[in-house]
Amino acid sequence: MILFVTILAFALMIFIHELGHYWTARRFGVGIEKFSIGFGKPLFRFQRKGVQWQIGWIPLGGYVKMHGENPDDEVEDAQRELSFQHKAWWQRALIAFSGPFANLILGLIFFIASFLFPIHLEDHYPVIHSVQGKWTDLLQPRDSLITINEQPVQGYWEALGLLSAKEDNSIQLMRNNEPLTVEIPAAQIDSLIRSLSPAMSTQIGEVYAGMSAWRAGIRSGDIVIGVDSLKVDDWYEMRQKILGSPSDSVLLTLIRDGKIIKRVVELESNVTLGEERLIGITNIQPVKSQQRFNIKQAFGYGTASAFGFIGRNYAGLFKLFAKPEQLARNIGGPVMIASMSNQVGAKGISYLVLFFGSISLILMIMNLLPIPILDGGHILFCIIEGIIRHPVSLKVQAILQRIGLTLLLLLMILAFYGDISKLLMRMMAN
C-alpha cells in the first residue's frame, strides 16, 4: 500500500513540475504541443485544446513539448509569436525555472501538511546515564526523573523540555529506590542540560536503508552485545568502539530472537559528517507519545524545516563535488526510495508526508543544477545570452547537451547499480 502511495506521490511531483513549465509558457504565449508524464510510447493519451496529454510507459520523469523549442526547428513567420525560441531570454529562463519552483511550492505544502497530522514522538526513559562538572554533587548516574516542577514525566527529553529558564525548578527523582527532590536555579538550566546524557541500551531502533548496517542484514530490534569480540554494556561504549576501530569494518555480535548472530559491517564516511565514519543505525527510543500543532505552528515549523532541508542539501552537494569518490555511496535510485518509503511509512503518516516533501525539494535542487539538458542548464544558457546579447551557438549547445545527457545517464546507471547491489548484499546477509 505504501509503495502504491509512493508511486502516486512521485507521479504528482512530476505532474506539478511539468505543470509549472506549462503554466508559465502559456502566460508568455508559447504554443504547447504535448504534455507527458513519463517517456516512451504512450499508454494513455487524449487531445484537449490543441494539446496532447499522455502518460508514457517509462515512469522516470516527464516533459512539456513547446512549439519551436528546438533551435533547429523551422518556424513560419505566422507562428513566431508561439515559438519558445523566439521569446526573450528572460522569459525562456522563467519558463525553465517554473518547473523546479513548482516542486518548491509542493515541497513546502508537504512539509507544512506533515505538521498538521499527529506526530509520533520517540524518547528515552527518563534515566540519567552520566553527569559532568559541578552537577555531580546533585545528580548521579541511574537517577530516574519522576516529576519536573510537579509535572509527571515519561521521557528524558520531555523532562528536559519542562525545565524553566525563568523560574527556579524542582526535580523529583528516584535514587536507589528512595525519593529525592533537588532544586535547580533558572539561570543554570543550560549548564545542567549540557552536563547530562540519557541512559541508552544497545538495542537498535532504526537501520537506514542502503547503508552498511542495512546491507549487512542488521535489523531493528537487534541487541548489540559485542564489537570486535569486546563486550559492550551501553550505546555510548558501543559507539566509541565502532568509531574508534582502526580497520574499515567491525564485527558486531548481536542477539536476535534469543539467538546470537554475528555480522561484519563496513565503516562508511559521509559527506555531511566530515571525517567521522558511521554504519547507519540509531538506538531504540522506547517511550512513545504524540504531539499536535495548530495551523500557525505547522506553517512556521514546516517552512523552517523545508528551507533548512534545502540548505543542508546544497551544503552536502558542495562537499560531494569536493569528494566525488563518495558519489556512489551517497546516491540512491527508485529501489532505495521505495525501501525508505516503507521504512518511513511505518513511523506514521506525518513522516511519510514529510518524506514526500523531501523528495519534491530534492527534485527542485537537482533540476536547478547547471547541467545542460536539465532546467538549470537551460537557465544558464539564457543568462549567458542576456549577458553577451546573443544566443550561445547551436554547436556549443548541442555538444554541452550531449555531455549533460551522458552524465545524466551515467548517474541513472550508477543509482540503479547501487540500488541493486545494496539489495543483493542485504538478501545475501539474511
Per residue in 301-339, pLDDT (tens digit) is 999 999 998 998 888 777 767 666 555 555 655 555 666
Are both 221 and 276 inside the same structural domain? yes
Are both 209 and 246 inside the same structural domain? yes
Q: What percent of the chain has pLDDT over 90?
A: 47
Are both 144 and 246 inside the same structural domain? no
In a domain, 334, yes or no: no
Q: Which three cell numbers stand for residue 362?
A: 530534492
Q: Are 2 and 340 contacting, i.e. CB atoms less than 8 angstroms apart?
A: no
Are both 6 and 76 inside the same structural domain? yes
Of the given ranges (109-113, 276-280, 324-328, 402-406), which has the lowest mean pLDDT?
324-328
261/344 Cα distance (integer angstroms): 26
- Report the pLDDT value the prediction gives residue 252, as an integer from 0 to 100: 94
Q: What is the CATH number of the domain that holds 191?
A: 2.30.42.10
Q: Is the pLDDT of residue 175 over 80?
A: yes
Handedness of CA 213, 217, 221, 224 (dihedral sign): negative
41/131 Cα distance (integer angstroms): 65
Q: Are 84 and 95 contacting, i.e. CB atoms less than 8 angstroms apart?
A: yes
The backbone torsions φ and ψ at residue 183, rounded to the nearest 5 degrees and listed phi first, read: -110, 135
Query: What pLDDT digit, counting tens, does each position of 96-146 carry?
Result: 999 999 999 999 999 999 999 998 889 999 999 999 999 998 999 999 999
Are both 103 and 129 inside the same structural domain? no
pLDDT higher for 422 or 126?
126
Are both 17 and 101 inside the same structural domain? yes
pLDDT band at 417 (very low <50, low <70, confident <90, very high): low
- Other beta carbons less than 10 A from residue 216's beta carbon: 22
Q: Which of 136, 165, 198 is the last residue before a domain boundary? A: 198
Rounded to two decimals, the pTM is: 0.79
Residue count of the chain, please give it: 430
Q: Which of 236, 266, 284 is the last residue before a domain boundary? A: 284
Which residue range(s) make up the domain with 161?
125-198
Q: What percent of the chain has pLDDT over 70?
A: 85
Q: Is the pLDDT of residue 12 over 70?
A: yes
Question: What average pLDDT does this structure show over 15-28?
Answer: 94
Q: Which of 198, 223, 251 is the last residue before a domain boundary? A: 198
Are both 367 and 270 inside the same structural domain? no
236/229 Cα distance (integer angstroms): 17
Domain total for the chain?
3
- Other beta carbons less than 10 A from residue 427's beta carbon: 10
Are both 216 and 274 inside the same structural domain? yes
